Amino acid sequence: MLEAMLAFNTDLPFFLYDESWHRCVVDLTPDGRISVRLGTQAGDLVTVHDQVQLPGYVPHRHMIGFGARTGAGFSRHQVANIRLG
């Protein structure tokens, strides 16, 4: 399994630890460019990463994983309502 830090962004207009639901949309183009958008309300998505090229990308069937880090021992994360298409 290949793991790499592709991009880093901490400049969001909202906090992810506010006990609210947050929507995340991840787009992957056929040539291996990934875009990530986050928001707290429908329609307010903020682009966090735009067209970041995945190094050495070769189109094939992928296994997708989700991860999160907490800023404190009491934070909780859930992944729900996933749609892949």
Contact call for residues 14 and 40 (beta carbons, < 8 A): yes
First-to-final CA distance of the chain: 23
Task: Please tell me the predicted confidence (pLDDT) of residue 17.
Answer: 74
CA distance 37 to 52: 12
CA distance 45 to 39: 4
Task: Average the pLDDT over 52-68 and give the result.
Answer: 78
pTM across the whole model? 0.63
Q: Which residues contact 23 (CB under 8 A, 6 or more apart)?
A: 38, 39, 40, 42, 45
Q: For residue 85, is pLDDT > 60? A: no
Q: For residue 29, is pLDDT > 60? A: yes
Task: Average the pLDDT over 14-33 and give the result.
Answer: 82
Task: Average the pLDDT over 33-47 and give the result.
Answer: 84
CA distance 29 to 77: 27
